[in-house]
Amino acid sequence: MPEEVGQIKDAYARAGVNIDVAARVKELIGKHARSTLRPEVLSGVGFFGGLFEFKGYHHPVLVSSVDGVGTKLKIAGALGKHDTIGIDLVNHCVNDTFTCGAEPLFFLDYIAAGKLLPEQVEAIVRGLAQACREAGCALIGGETAEMPGLYTGEDYDLVGFIIGVVEKEGIIMGKTIMVGDTIIGLPSSGLHTNGYSLVRKIFGESRKALNAYYSELGRTLGEELLEPHRCYYHQLKPLLPVIKGMAHITGGGLVDNVPRVLPQGMTAQFHSRAWTVLPIFRLIQQRGNVAQNEMFRVFNMGIGMVVICSPDNADRLTKALPDAKVIGEVVKQKGEARVIIK
């Protein structure tokens, strides 16, 4: 190595950025990313841009989304468990693009930290790759950034970018929804990726608090909070021809997300006793003294995906989806409310 290069590396390391560690991180990421590649991927891992050969569609429409996992990262950091947070991110993004009927094609991630820790980054990417493989989505590229001074300690941020595709004539946007249509709910696996700032305010984020066992949960609080975000893609894909609209229930809960697919002049009316509110939500409400209406604005309350169909197809959907339940119906809007929870 030329002496000047060594001096530059040493100077950069003293500034807080280790080039050798970054190279090691990319090596570890590569082996996991390669396990997700589809035949359409032409560039492999490590090129300047991800190349994806687009074929097999008559009138394709690309669907994109970007998201993060919020302060669930703080729970993962406090417990030193980083192998599921990538699953959360991919599944969240897949669900978002799938609401219009899109097939996930490829995914890119962004990991930024004050100090890159190879084993930590590998655990994150291992989760990303697992979820990508399960969804049939290529982890085609990404970026890792070491930014001392912006992030402190072992804190990091994680962001995901997804591209999907849907035939134009197959796009689902809720335009055919009518008054009288049936609303079906698919259960969540827990908080998914929303509401963690409130949860941390109520319970704290120390190891002691997170390792506390709760009989109503049947496990520790930390285990419950790190339960991965559920993916609904494979379960719902065969049923797309009879689905009029879908809403992924994330931040804002049923109240803010369902109106995004409702035509004007319609309201979604839910019957809260039609499904089981998971114990974690009752625990949060009791310990934090949180009002019921706020719970439904912050959390998914046990419903991760809402599907709207005609009454004639409701039985077909619920039979094909053993854990789904009819939880409401579309009614004519009266007043300003777009969502009513009884």
User: Low-confidence residues of the chain, pLDDT below 50?
Assistant: none
Q: Which fold has domain 3-170?
A: 60s Ribosomal Protein L30; Chain: A; (3.30.1330)
List, for residues 235-292, the tens digit of each pLDDT value.
999 999 999 999 999 999 999 999 999 999 999 999 999 999 999 999 999 999 999 9
Q: What does the alpha-carbon distance between residue 254 and residue 300 come to, in Å, rounded to a whole number? A: 7
pLDDT of residue 143: 86
pLDDT of residue 180: 96
pLDDT of residue 6: 53
Q: What does the alpha-carbon distance between residue 244 and residue 171 come to, in Å, rounded to a whole number? A: 10
pLDDT of residue 334: 93
- Class level of CATH domain 182-341: alpha beta
Report CA-CA distances (Å) from 120 to 76, 86, 171: 11, 11, 39
Residue 219, both tokens: 């496990």
Q: Where are the domains of the chain?
A: 3-170, 182-341
Burial of 190-207, coded b for 16+ CB within 10 Å and e otherwise, reads bbbbbbbebbbebbebee
pLDDT of residue 17: 60
pLDDT of residue 9: 56
pLDDT of residue 7: 53
